Amino acid sequence: MSQTILVTGGSGYIGSHTTIALLEKGFEVVIADNLSNSSIKAVQAIKTITNKPVSFEQIDLLDKQALDQIFDNYPIESVIHFAGLKAVGESVEDPLRYYNTNLVSTLNLLDSMQAHNVWNLVFSSSATVYGIPETVPIPETAKTSAINPYGQTKLMIENICRDVAASEKKWNINLLRYFNPAGAHSSGQIGEDPTGIPNNLLPYVMQVAIGELKELSIFGDDWDTPDGTGVRDYIHVEDLALGHLAALENLKNGAHEYNLGTGSGASVLEIVKTAEEVVGKAIPYKITKRRPGDIATSLADPSKANNELSWRADRNLKSMIIDAWKWQSENPKGFNTD
């Protein structure tokens, strides 16, 4: 009998792609999502792509009773935890909401898991836990110092996981620090579907390319990088999904941190230039001032995940943009097609 995995936030961008990877590998999946930043259409797309059933429970993890009910109703053996608020700027404007949602939902989840004897957890953390890095590429041993409430919640949850793993030897926890997820499923049926103006660069570029937005804002062209624009480690969302699969299949006692990235970077202008090649037209942009808290370069040192999880990100920047454009051009308004 195949293992049943609870995926919290499983209809979101990374959660939905990971759910596809799990189903294709033969796992049973239960998605728990409150749909606050995702669409039920993602769940339908998952079923269409995989031709497999997936259980969906619309609950908020802040509702402890509803969460316990899921563990009562399904034979869950492991959890991949994506659910949470994720916009850096919004977290600065409304820190209480971020601390309450991200921390309390995780505390509820860990409590329910413990009560139901479920000890396997893969947690969706973030490279924001490194703050302003002292060295690049960044190894997992680098100093952590989040510089915004969103990053603080990720770091606090990592610490909570380390503490529970130290207190009870049954816990097996992998903490995945992703760099910059990008792209979409190669089918074009599922992709990043932000509400409002996108926080991430590639969907912003795609929405300008499709005509939904007038122009791209580039935050500073005076950074200490080859072309003056910020350099980031972009990872194809399908590679990232496979990283979760590898983390699930390589759980071991205690709590362990892994960077998920490629180890190589692309600048904002490189992304724009590659996107122009893919879509076949110019993408208008303007240079604006730097955003507070931004950094010049952020690159992963992914060697620990390469070695210990037998995982490697191998899709390149162009394939991310080709897949993102396929999703965007076939779904100009994302899942909001009505």
How far apart CA 130 and CA 321 sit, in angstroms, is 27
Catalytic residue among 98, 130, 150, 258: 150
For residue 38, what are the contacts with CB-CB under 8 A and spacing of at least 6?
A: 9, 11, 12, 13, 15, 16, 193
Angle of helix 13-24 relative to helix 237-249, nearest 10 degrees, comes to 60
How far apart CA 197 and CA 203 sit, in angstroms, is 9
221 and 168 in contact (C-beta within 8 Å)? no
In sequence order, what DSSP letters do the residues of 111-154 get, joined into one string?
HHHHHTT--EEEEEEEGGGG-S-SSSSBPTTSPP---SHHHHHH
How far apart CA 204 and CA 211 sit, in angstroms, is 11
How far apart CA 54 and CA 330 sit, in angstroms, is 24
**Which residue matches tokens 């995926």?**
7
**Which residue matches tokens 């990877």?**
21
Distance of CA 255 to the CA centre of its chain: 19
How far apart CA 264 and CA 181 sit, in angstroms, is 13
Cα dist from 290 to 161, 211, 218, 228, 273, whole Å? 34, 25, 8, 11, 21
For residue 205, what are the contacts with CB-CB under 8 A and spacing of at least 6?
A: 216, 271, 272, 275, 283
Cα dist from 75 to 1, 107, 113, 309, whole Å? 11, 21, 12, 26
**Annotated catalytic residue 150:** yes
Which residues on neighbouring strands pair with residue 29, listed in sequence order?
5
Q: Which residues are catalytic?
A: 150
